[in-house]
Amino acid sequence: MTVALSIVVDGIAYGMILFMISVGLSVTMGLMRIVNLAHGGFALLGGACAHVLTMRYGMPFVPALAASVIAVIVIAIPLERLVYRHIYRFSELEQVLATIGIVFVMIATVNLFLGSTLLTIRMPPEVSLPVNLGFKVLPLHRIIVIVVGLLMVTGLYLLVERTRFGIYLRAAVDNQNTAASLGIDTPKVYLAAFALGAGLAAVGGILGAELLPIEAYYPLRYMVLFLTVVTVGGMGSIVGSFIAALSLGILDTAGRYLLPDVGTIFFFLAIIALLALRPNGLLVRPS
């Protein structure tokens, strides 16, 4: 019983991190039809930035988090304008190659300035305090991650369902040409979605640093994981990403707890089976 509970709680916390990092990827892939292997790079840049601010300049965690996210958005905007805008028109294969190229440059840049060692982010000591929830004792960090994840999915849901930007976004995901003919400025929607996705990835990278440690090779090491969330959740679907991230988080955690030897094999076999049965993701029926 306690094991099951641990699996579920740890899995959900892990899933929330996966969701934060992957949701931007899902939206941009659904919207711009781009296979973006460099998305994890934004989590890395956010984490690296937070590392520098908290460790070198002794900035407190929360302002450092905010500053890092803003910094990543500031990097993402010209990147979208100057590079990604051209990549949208490429074939799928060229997109894969171009974005692998971008990942390599991101890794090399972080490596040039900070080396290839682990980049720790100093958090306030309170986050490791145990909190008694009655049925289980959890470190505060897990609770924060779960709460932030829930806030994020609610916020995104409201943004997409209730705001003008959301209407534009859904219209553009649904049909680019129709959206453009309705007078929606799709390049602007793209830019906003891309910057938002990059910012969320940075939040996920920083908050999740305890589970997925930040180092130069981060975007390559976890690339498959993030892409899996998007593929399983279905491109462009926020709810799909959320369900996929939580299920994969729990599945992976369960594998590690219950079958420590073959957990990873079990995880990937499950994904293979899923993709074979539902090539367009969990929520989309095969045509």
Judge residue 122's burial from the number of C-beta atoms within 10 Å of its C-beta, 0-12 exposed, 13-18 middle, 19 or more buried: middle
The span from the CA of 181 to the CA of 185, in Å, is: 9
Q: Does 66 bind other proteins (CB under 8 A)?
A: no
Residue 139 phi, psi (nearest 5)? -65, 145
> Nearest distance from residue 1's CB to other proteins, in Å?
29
Binding mask 6-35 for other proteins (x = CB under 8 A): -----------------------x-----x
Cβ nearer to other proteins, comparing 98 with 184: 98
One of 86, 134, 137, 287 touching other proteins (CB under 8 A): 86
What count of other Cβ atoms lies within 10 Å of the Cβ of residue 101?
Answer: 13
Range in contact with other proteins (rule: CB under 8 A) among 58-66, 84-92, 178-186, 237-245: 84-92
Residue with tokens 């958005």: 73
Residue 191: CB partners within 8 Å, gap ≥ 6? 77, 80, 81
Residue 130 structure tokens: 């145990």
Cβ nearer to other proteins, comparing 112 with 137: 112
Q: Does 261 bind other proteins (CB under 8 A)?
A: yes
Cβ nearer to other proteins, comparing 4 with 269: 269
Residue 88 structure tokens: 């949208």
The angle that helices 164-174 and 2-32 make with each other, rounded to 10 degrees, is: 70
Residue 8 structure tokens: 């579920």
> Nearest distance from residue 134's CB to other proteins, in Å?
38
Residue 141: CB partners within 8 Å, gap ≥ 6? 123, 127, 128, 210
Q: Does 157 bind other proteins (CB under 8 A)?
A: no
Range in contact with other proteins (rule: CB under 8 A) among 4-12, 69-77, 241-249, 269-277: 269-277
Report the interface residues with other proteins, using CB under 8 A: 29, 35, 83, 86, 90, 92-94, 96-98, 100-105, 107-109, 111-112, 116, 220, 224, 227-228, 230-231, 235, 261-262, 264-265, 268-269, 271-272, 275-276, 279-280
